[in-house]
Every structure is written in C-alpha cells, then in structure tokens.
Amino acid sequence: MSAKAPVPGRLVIIGGAEDKDGEMAILRRIVELAGGTDGNIAVVATASGAPLDPALRYRSLFLDLGIGQASCLPISSRIQAYDPGVVERIRKSTGVFFTGGDQLRITSILGGTPVHKALLERRMEGALVAGTSAGASAMSDIMIVGGPEEEAPKKCTTKLAPGMGLLHDSVIDQHFAQRGRIGRLLSAIAQNPGITGIGIDEDTAIEVGPDLCFTVLGSQTVTVIDGRNIEITNASERAPDSPLALTDVTLHILPKGYGYDLKTGKPLAPKGD
C-alpha cells in the first residue's frame, strides 16, 4: 500500500499591524497551525532594514503563545540565503513567518536561492507559511512593490514584480483600507485581469487551505477584486498616468468568518449560516 501524498501547508497572510497586545487571535492561530508545543517556527525578517529587532519580537511573541521552538533566521544577503545551515533550519521548521518591511528585499534576496527552494518544498510537505505586511505581499506570483495611494486607478502607476510563488493567480495588497489602496489594486488587476486581487486590512488575515479556499481572520475586512469578467478597459490604449476605464469588475467585501474560493471565484458564507 503506497503512502499518502503530503497535504500542502496552509498560508496565513496578514494585512499588517496585527494585534500583539490583546487577544492576539491571528498570531495564536499561526502557533496552532504550526504545531503548538510540538511546533518549530522560523522567523524571517529579511524585509526589514534592521532584521534582528522584528525577528526577536516575533520570536518572543510566538514563544509566549506556546510554540515549542522559535528561532530567528539571519538572512539579510543572498550569501546567507545559500548557507546550508540556514537552509537546514527551514527544512526542520513546521512554520515560517515573514515580517514586514520592504517586500522587494524579500524577493531580491531570497528569490531562486536554496532557502527559497526549501521554503516551497516545506510548504508542499505540510509546513505553514505566514507573513505580515511586506511578508504578505511577497506570497503571490505577482507582487505589488509600489504605487500611489488614495487615488483613482491609473495606467502604469502600480509597480509590479515577481513574488515568492506561494499563492498562484493572485496579487495581494496590505494595510488596504487604512491606506486607501483600492486604486492601485484595481490598476494591478487591469494589467492582469486573469488573476484575483486580494486587499487585506490591518489586524486582518486570510487563512488559505490546500483546497485554495480562504477564511478571513481578525477585526477588519478583506476586499476581493475579480477582473475575469471585465468587458471594457482602456488599459492598453491610454497614455501613462491616464485614468483607467474598467467595467464589470466583481468586488467582494468579506469580514471575519467569511471566505472565498479562489478556484471558482465564489464568496463563502460563514459555516452554519
């Protein structure tokens, strides 16, 4: 009898500024999914310009919340991302957590390295991968690295780059409602209408299962933008910085307990409703 294939690990993608002093519901869920007292979380603060400080803070939080082991991985250069010892610590982890900062630091330092490959393999073997703020943006295939806030969507104003490839056919923005980022997410969807835009508010997260359905956690909301049914757009015709025309965009606002099926594009009501 052949062994069952491993089930891919879950993703917990946080919009930033998650509660670190009260109930800490999102961080508690990360500890639970990483194995609790039997778990081993590796904290990666590559996105930060001063990576030791946020790494130590999250390590302390996870230990206080009951994780068995938590360690800080010193990855601030591509040389360190080739270190066999660092790679081995990723391979032994039951969860990997990415802090905030600059998402382009994550991908430019880790992209294509043995650490990146080990991360993708561990996730497919069942390990949890979580990230907040910049660590959230880096999760998808296509990543937002910049763009104007609190403006209507315009052509060529949202800057995109390859992400870490943990979540396919999606693009993520964080601190979403708090920083007025709907325009830049719409701009990203105009350039890539076949993917799903996911805007995550602060102290809010999505928990993505192996079936590619996610559930909303936390105190605020998640905005989902589906551009697959766009009928009219001037994205390929207008000059840079010109206002975009987009019709038949589907938008969903999902608070805690609601979910979304990324395969079918259907929102999901809370279980029991």
How confident is the model over 154-180, as pLDDT tens digits? Answer: 888 899 999 999 999 999 999 999 999
Query: Range with the lowest mean pLDDT among 162-171, 199-208, 221-230, 238-247?
Result: 238-247
Residues assigned a catalytic role = 133, 151, 175
* pLDDT at 273 (0 to 100): 59
Query: Range with the lowest mean pLDDT among 48-57, 204-213, 237-246?
Result: 237-246
Sequence-ordered list of residues with C-beta below 8 angstroms from that of 119, at least 6 positions apart, any chain: 90, 96, 110, 129, 164, 166
* pLDDT at 240 (0 to 100): 81
Burial code of 108-134, b = ≥16 C-beta within 10 A, e = fewer?
ebbbebbbbebbeebbeeebbbbbbbb
Asked whether the beta carbons of 164 and 44 are under 8 A apart, the reply is: no
Rounded to two decimals, the pTM is: 0.97
pLDDT at 2 over 80: no
Q: In the predicted model, what is the mean pLDDT of the chain?
A: 95
**Tokens, residue 265:** 């594009």
Rounded Cα distance between 117 and 46, Å, is 16
How confident is the model over 110-128, as pLDDT tens digits? Answer: 999 999 999 999 999 999 9
Rounded Cα distance between 234 and 139, Å, is 29
Best CATH choice for the domain 11-258 from the list 3.40.50.300, 3.40.50.880, 3.20.20.140, 2.60.40.420: 3.40.50.880
Asked whether the beta carbons of 133 and 175 are under 8 A apart, the reply is: yes
* pLDDT at 156 (0 to 100): 81
Domain boundaries, the chain: 11-258
How confident is the model over 12-39, as pLDDT tens digits? Answer: 999 999 999 999 999 999 999 999 999 9
